[in-house]
Structure 1
């Protein structure tokens, strides 16, 4: 069953029971439809430890009103337009109060193997007014009189709130109207609600989803695992935002694991040694290569769906730039009907993959990696003794930022990871430039050659994003340079994928006896786009290397200055002691 989806952009305000509703017409700019009253009753569900609530996900069964049924609200995200909204999924109402399988599956990545149980009941007398402009609904204003009951102990709370929700967040002027109505509510004595939902008010404060990360690498990994899960439900439905979020975070996880594989494996082994106390049957350590392979499979599955989405949007924009006599409707219809079919097919593959227990095992393994990463920066003496190590678990002894002409080995795993990724990037850059200069390559060969460099740059870009810019201000230049190269080579790769689809679809059109000239127009447009992008990539790649080396030199000078200062302090102390 495919659920309904709705993009929810709203503002919520706390208000006293005696407050008067402000002028909702904004001085005649909007028309206010007659108020309707709805009596809503909702039961909310979560695991016993409230993991969904802490992750800003709500699951409810609601009766009354115009949208009774089962609902899932996903975490809020910021749009490119600057507004913040969240995706709401809706499923038909069932007679049973047990969570339906399709609802349970949609939040499987978060709930894992735990049962979803009722945690709260919220009853609401809603006074709803629809505000229109030009005869079309624009905003819904809800004057809610709410009673929430926490089911664990029966504690109850009552309050009144105002809610403004856009009917169509993409309509021109809608965000501005929402802002003006919000100002009117504040002017009438309301205050912006400090809690994001009625459920949060009902059950009260909850602990964070996890304690603060104890290392920079753990923080990186945890953020990407959370982003992976935030896209999970949307990806199961084939939503572009969900698939993109999962694919990006899976790639980031793979990069971080690759950069810190030895340290993570050692830290996990130390944890297992400490917990086992030499007893048989202890957990095995993390198999980082196997985990990377699982992520590769996930990325490949998501990538097939994401590539179709990107190509569809790209070719739509390109086709709109040509008149109908060059790219006729028959070509456009053929392209988009085939891409739509492929998008549906790959979306089903994603859904099936995420319902596979293998995916759940991957999430469990990632949790173990995050735990291990927390031990990377400061292993205890007990860990070192039990693991048979007399040196720091983290410190590899290899030359990096911290080991050179001046200073001691760095203890920052993120910086060590950046050094490793840069070495791989610089090696790939040298190879690409050498082969481009010495060989007479076709466009396809040049594109294939630069694709490796693109992957190396993405890994470096990811690691650089996690370096503290306050401690290393020069990393800002590195990030900017890496981002520019990412855009250039990303455009090349998108062009390659688009041409593959144009060629494939045009052959089917030709076999069906359809004219194919328009396909040739689009193909040549994409070929020229790639040629143009490749002209400047070498300079952008050189800028990345220069920015990294500048950051490296700056850190060496800084350490040298610190060491010199320490030496002077020691000499001063010795002189003072002699006196």
Structure 2
């Protein structure tokens, strides 16, 4: 895919006559170097109903200037976006269209706005001539191409941080500009301003939540947040960004857990099929995430082996295994995200939040309704823990501990939903569930690691290599699992105390 850069900038209102202060008085700025005026012609693409703009995503084809081409900008934080560039072409590049598929969902991308900008560029440089930031004064003319026929024009000032620069530098420039009377722009981007100035802007998303007064309000607020997280992490998964798969999978699991835990609030008979689809998506994402976690764990274990004991091509075999596994897992994930099934799930999630099938309990007092659901999950976990702790060491106990781990995670997520209503009691409960989950999770990771180590040993043996290191690591993982099993009763004892029920039930 094309070049990617992190864009960090500030925007300001201006007129053709707005004076700029002496920016060499800003700390670190030794000079302001004029770079001339560039004439820019940009056409912005979106769906007819402006789905990209509604999510603060911009896609444009621009000519003129030093970076002519296609540019996709994805929001990271206020004033921070990732800009992905592709060469000029007549149609939207497939790579960029794929990255916004989670928003477009099969709808055509059409030209919606054209912006003509006359850009006067100045570089703020330090004593060595290194670029600190680029300041541009833009005279903009906007023309609506779809959804209206209006035009608009305005002037603005942008200050964009140099690649790799310290964002705090923009704060110092901002203070100087503000002191000189230059006001922060009201619109977050040129496109946003152009849309509102030339016709209708993007519609507010249906089903947005207001103040949380009832149990249903709290559950819906949580669902909205996690649906937004699934959508937001989709482009990162496609770009293979670190931790993107994990975060998207967590959001998917949280949604599924909330729908299951709060079945007295949101009708389970209606959400049942949606829960099944969320389980499918989490499973597809899990292939990549589990491979990522396992590869990192085994690499850490190999690195801990003394060099004198590293017999055979251990690193090479582990690397080859990890690379092949990651490639296969990524194919699985991308195939899932490119499927019609996934798009149907996204539409169903939107419909759920916009028109939730609420039950009578949804209108109840949040503290009582939410606490009851959390305690039910706690009781479910307690039953599974009792069974796991009663079993002798072996495969059956391994499975029982894994089941308990899933119950601990579900109880923790239930507490997350309730935390705004229950406050510190839910927060403390969540921390205790996380402690139990951590012990059980490390135990399960050890079980999975031993399976992988045995497979690697079999492959090494078949290739005529020594299996000494794989056996050594297997034994260490076995010992780690035993240590976790010994630790579990104490951790659970800290959790299973009467005051948990008393605190949550208040």
**Residue 499 (structure 2) aligns with:** 550
1:246-305, CA deviations, whole angstroms, 9 ceiling, x for partnerless residues?
A: 211111111112123465337xxxxxxxxxxxxxxxxxx73x333222222211111011
Distance of 1:165 and 1:317 partners within structure 2? 37
Q: Do 2:422 and 2:504's aligned partners in 1 also have CA atoms closer than 8 Å? A: no
**Residue 214 (structure 2) aligns with:** none
Instruction: Return the match for 1:256 from 258, 263, 279.
Output: 258
Gaps of 5+ in 2: 211-216
**Residue 203 (structure 1) aligns with:** 195
Indicate how the Cα distance of structure 1 residues 132 and 303 shifts in structure 2: closer, same or farther if over 3 A, else same.
farther
Q: Do 2:312 and 2:466's aligned partners in 1 also have CA atoms closer than 8 Å? A: no
Count of paired positions: 486
Distance of 1:31 and 1:521 partners within structure 2? 62
Distance of 1:342 and 1:322 partners within structure 2? 23
**Residue 309 (structure 1) aligns with:** 292
Distance of 1:5 and 1:522 partners within structure 2? 41
Map 1:463-542; keep pairs closer than 5 Å. 463-469=414-420, 471-542=422-493
Distance of 1:510 and 1:32 partners within structure 2? 66
Per the TM alignment, residue 132 of structure 1 is displaced from its structure 2 partner at its CA by 8.1
Distance of 2:90 and 2:264 partners within structure 1? 53
Distance of 1:134 and 1:513 partners within structure 2? 59
Indicate how the Cα distance of structure 1 residues 22 and 552 shifts in structure 2: closer, same or farther if over 3 A, else same.
same
Q: Do 2:32 and 2:124's aligned partners in 1 also have CA atoms closer than 8 Å? A: yes
Indicate how the Cα distance of structure 1 residues 164 and 394 shifts in structure 2: closer, same or farther if over 3 A, else same.
closer
**Residue 49 (structure 1) aligns with:** 49
**Residue 244 (structure 2) aligns with:** 242
What secondary structure does 2:417 align onto?
Answer: coil
Instruction: Return the match for 2:167 from 178, 181, 187.
Output: 178
Q: Do 1:9 and 1:86's aligned partners in 2 also have CA atoms closer than 8 Å? A: yes
Distance of 1:146 and 1:330 partners within structure 2? 63
Q: Do 2:86 and 2:93's aligned partners in 1 also have CA atoms closer than 8 Å? A: no
**Residue 347 (structure 1) aligns with:** 330
1:380-435, CA deviations, whole angstroms, 9 ceiling, x for partnerless residues?
A: xxxxxxxxxxxx4659xxxxxx9xxxxxx978653343233222112112212222
Q: Do 2:47 and 2:104's aligned partners in 1 also have CA atoms closer than 8 Å? A: yes
Asked if residue 127 in structure 1 is aligned to residue 129 in structure 2, the reply is: no
**Residue 12 (structure 1) aligns with:** 10
Distance of 1:23 and 1:366 partners within structure 2? 52
Indicate how the Cα distance of structure 1 residues 522 and 418 shifts in structure 2: closer, same or farther if over 3 A, else same.
same
Per the TM alignment, residue 19 of structure 1 is displaced from its structure 2 partner at its CA by 0.8
Instruction: Return the match for 1:114 from 89, 107, 129.
Output: 107
**Residue 93 (structure 1) aligns with:** 88
Distance of 1:481 and 1:134 partners within structure 2? 54
Per the TM alignment, residue 227 of structure 1 is displaced from its structure 2 partner at its CA by 0.9
Gaps of 5+ in 1: 79-83, 169-173, 267-284, 377-391, 396-401, 403-408, 559-579
Indicate how the Cα distance of structure 1 residues 525 and 468 shifts in structure 2: closer, same or farther if over 3 A, else same.
same
Distance of 2:163 and 2:85 partners within structure 1? 16
Instruction: Return the match for 1:103 from 96, 101, 111.
Output: 96
Distance of 2:286 and 2:57 partners within structure 1? 26
1:489-525, CA deviations, whole angstroms, 9 ceiling, x for partnerless residues?
A: 3333333334433333343333333444444454445
Per the TM alignment, residue 218 of structure 1 is displaced from its structure 2 partner at its CA by 1.6
What secondary structure does 2:167 align onto?
Answer: helix
Map 1:367-446; keep pairs closer than 5 Å. 367-373=350-356, 375-376=358-359, 392=360, 413-435=369-391, 439=392, 441-442=393-394, 445-446=396-397
**Residue 64 (structure 2) aligns with:** 64
Distance of 1:164 and 1:153 partners within structure 2? 31
Map 1:252-331; keep pairs closer than 5 Å. 252-261=254-263, 263-265=265-267, 286=270, 288-327=271-310, 330-331=313-314
1:348-399, CA deviations, whole angstroms, 9 ceiling, x for partnerless residues?
A: 22111222111122222223322443744xxxxxxxxxxxxxxx4659xxxx
**Residue 388 (structure 1) aligns with:** none
What secondary structure does 1:62 align onto?
Answer: strand
Q: Do 2:426 and 2:504's aligned partners in 1 also have CA atoms closer than 8 Å? A: no
Per the TM alignment, residue 347 of structure 1 is displaced from its structure 2 partner at its CA by 1.1
1:422-478, CA deviations, whole angstroms, 9 ceiling, x for partnerless residues?
A: 22112112212222xxx2x14x55443211111001111111011144544322211
1:509-544, CA deviations, whole angstroms, 9 ceiling, x for partnerless residues?
A: 333334444444544454444444443233333333
Q: Do 2:371 and 2:422's aligned partners in 1 also have CA atoms closer than 8 Å? A: no
Q: Do 2:132 and 2:162's aligned partners in 1 also have CA atoms closer than 8 Å? A: yes
1:3-32, CA deviations, whole angstroms, 9 ceiling, x for partnerless residues?
A: 23635151314264421462399548x999
Per the TM alignment, residue 103 of structure 1 is displaced from its structure 2 partner at its CA by 3.2
1:198-240, CA deviations, whole angstroms, 9 ceiling, x for partnerless residues?
A: 3223324755434432622222212111111111222234334
Distance of 1:100 and 1:107 partners within structure 2? 11
